[in-house]
Amino acid sequence: MPSLSQIKSKELRKYLIDRGFKEVSQKGSHRKFLKGSKTTTIPMHNKPLGVGLTISIINQAGLSVEDFLKWKNKK
């Protein structure tokens, strides 16, 4: 399976929405997502997200990196 690399914020946003998260607020360039008791925030800057930040956001959402990679490869 391919490893995780830098991705665009918009791609991670689409993944969270596909997994049932709702965009509930925005403060500056940061968007907050909610699903049940899980919340996470994505910085929507014009540069790729680092691998560590991407992993952290996915973990905060209660999802797995493996699931994200499968989703990404199906596109």
12-62, pLDDT tens digit by residue?
A: 999 999 999 999 999 999 999 999 999 999 999 999 999 999 999 999 999
Q: How far is CA 7 from CA 26, 43, 49, 55, 73, in A?
A: 20, 12, 6, 11, 13
Confidence tier at 1 by pLDDT (50, 70, 90): very low
The model carries a pTM of: 0.92
| Domains along the sequence of the chain with CATH | 9-74 (3.30.920.30)
Considering the chain, what is the average pLDDT of its residues? 94
